[in-house]
A and B are shown apart, each in its own frame.
Chain A
Amino acid sequence: MTDFQFPLPKEEYMYPGHSACPGCGEPISMRMLLKALGPDTIMNVPAGCCAVIPGVWPTYSLKIPLIDHAFECTGAVSSGIRAALDHFGKEDVTVVGWAGDGGTADIGLQSLSGAVDRGTDMLYIMYDNEAYMNTGNQCSSATPCGANTTTTPGGKSHQRTKKDVMKMMIANGIVYGASLNPAFPEDFMEKVVTAKGIRGPKFLHILSPCPSGWKFDPRNTIKIARLATETGVFPLYEYRNGETIFTKDLKNRKPLEEYLRLQGRFKHLSQADVEGMQRVLDESIQKLLKEE
């Protein structure tokens, strides 16, 4: 007899052989999400790495149905799938709209806002690799300041910000929101199960490290994801009934430098730049802690 326990449910809803780059953070999260949701799930994805991970036609890597559609309409397609399911009385099927940061924060924003406004019962996921990665790393409104992309070769200007889509969605009327990180599987799974049990529009923000675009050794994907939360760059929280609760400690943080120095996209930053960014981060976290 052994008393070893699997850290996640054993059922697999993903086949190997999909087309993500080695060490991509996205399939790790997609696999965990499906383990938490189970087989009664329909997913829809726009253009992006999310469209190649399910496989290159005629092959397919998931064990649940999926619709692949145009770049700007994830929210609208989720609303349509929901309407069809409701027509056939299949209320227990979860509809997942899974889109990138470009597909959510930029090009799909009006479609998502419409779906939230209609009160669509869906689980909308923004997997955030912080740029347009499938087309070779162009800056999006979710790219963090200082990060190099092909369209911000010297780093994204500190005059700009990382768009806070969660805040917009809360103002828009979501019933549940949370940030998720695949480096914390228990927290991840709990939030997905909670979201599944709530009717109405729900928005999840998943951090998705991209070895190709962030320029790091693929063996460090989970290490970097974990550091993002431990340094406070990507706080883990849950929003419900007008309240935000942090699900991982924000008070004792590791230095931001540990996170930045593992990634080539921040390589050009001077020590003074890093110190400046640490101050901005500390201020924003102080603000968050006061709001809680």
Chain B
Amino acid sequence: MNYRDLPSMPVAAQSTESITTGDWRTIRPVLNKDLCDRCYHCWAFCPDVSVIVEEEGSFPKVDLNHCKGCGICSTECSKQAITMVREDL
């Protein structure tokens, strides 16, 4: 990028979605649907907006492009439905 391509004012106009923070991850959340009761606590506490619930009643999914693998969803799940699994590094 050339400096001429930058906006004339220091205004940020591009969303952080283009940044793949999923690359930071060393462990990954894996859901066991048999245990999940769709309470969505994992969704409520995810610091990285990376638990996706497509519609009410559906099982949560993880956005692996952005999930940093903190493990909060796993700790906060009262059904122990999320296990953290090591990534192949």
List residues of chain B with CB under 8 Å of any chain A CB: 6-7, 10, 12-21, 24-25, 38-41, 43-50, 53, 56-57, 63, 65-66, 68-72, 74-76, 84
11 further A-B contacts with Cβ under 8 Å, apart from A6-B44, A217-B71, are A16-B17, A17-B21, A19-B16, A22-B68, A23-B68, A28-B46, A58-B12, A61-B15, A221-B70, A221-B72, A222-B75
Residues of B within 8 A of A56 (CB): 16, 19
> Are B71 and A4 in contact (CB-based, < 8 A)?
no
Q: Is A88 part of the binding interface, using a Cβ–Cβ cutoff of 8 Å? A: no
A14 to B57, CA, bound (A): 22
Q: Is A39 part of the binding interface, using a Cβ–Cβ cutoff of 8 Å? A: no
Residues of B within 8 A of A28 (CB): 45-47
Chain B nearest CB, measured from A25 CB (Å)? 7
Can you sample 19 A-B contacts with CB below 8 Å?
Answer: A4-B40, A6-B53, A6-B56, A7-B40, A16-B49, A17-B18, A17-B19, A19-B16, A19-B21, A22-B68, A22-B69, A23-B70, A25-B47, A59-B14, A61-B16, A218-B70, A220-B75, A221-B70, A223-B75
> Are A7 and B41 in contact (CB-based, < 8 A)?
yes
Residues of B within 8 A of A223 (CB): 75-76
List residues of chain A with CB under 8 Å of any chain B CB: 2, 4-8, 12, 14-20, 22-28, 31, 54-61, 182, 185, 211, 217-223
Residues of B within 8 A of A185 (CB): 44
Residues of B within 8 A of A27 (CB): 47-48
> Are B49 and A60 in contact (CB-based, < 8 A)?
no
> Are A4 and B47 in contact (CB-based, < 8 A)?
no
| Nearest A residue (CB) for B21 | A17
> Are B16 and A59 in contact (CB-based, < 8 A)?
yes
| Nearest B residue (CB) for A60 | B12
> Are B14 and A222 in contact (CB-based, < 8 A)?
no
Residues of B within 8 A of A24 (CB): 47
Residues of B within 8 A of A61 (CB): 15-16
Closest 6 CB pairs of A and B: A219-B71, A23-B70, A17-B16, A16-B66, A60-B12, A22-B68
Chain A nearest CB, measured from B53 CB (Å)? 8
Chain B nearest CB, measured from A233 CB (Å)? 19
Residues of B within 8 A of A16 (CB): 16-17, 21, 48-50, 63, 65-66
> Are B39 and A7 in contact (CB-based, < 8 A)?
yes
A223 to B74, CA, bound (A): 11
> Are A55 and B12 in contact (CB-based, < 8 A)?
yes
| Nearest A residue (CB) for B68 | A22
A56 to B74, CA, bound (A): 28
| Nearest B residue (CB) for A32 | B44
> Are A15 and B16 in contact (CB-based, < 8 A)?
yes
| Nearest A residue (CB) for B51 | A16
- Cβ-neighbour of B71 out of A7, A20, A218 (below 8 A): A218
Q: Find the residue from B21, B44, B84 having the highest chain A CB count within 10 A.
A: B44
Chain A nearest CB, measured from B46 CB (Å)? 8
> Are B15 and A59 in contact (CB-based, < 8 A)?
yes
Residues of A within 8 A of B43 (CB): 6-7
A57 to B13, CA, bound (A): 9
- Cβ-neighbour of B10 out of A12, A57, A220 (below 8 A): A57
Chain A nearest CB, measured from B3 CB (Å)? 12
Residues of A within 8 A of B63 (CB): 16
Chain A nearest CB, measured from B85 CB (Å)? 13
Residues of B within 8 A of A57 (CB): 10, 12
> Are B20 and A17 in contact (CB-based, < 8 A)?
yes
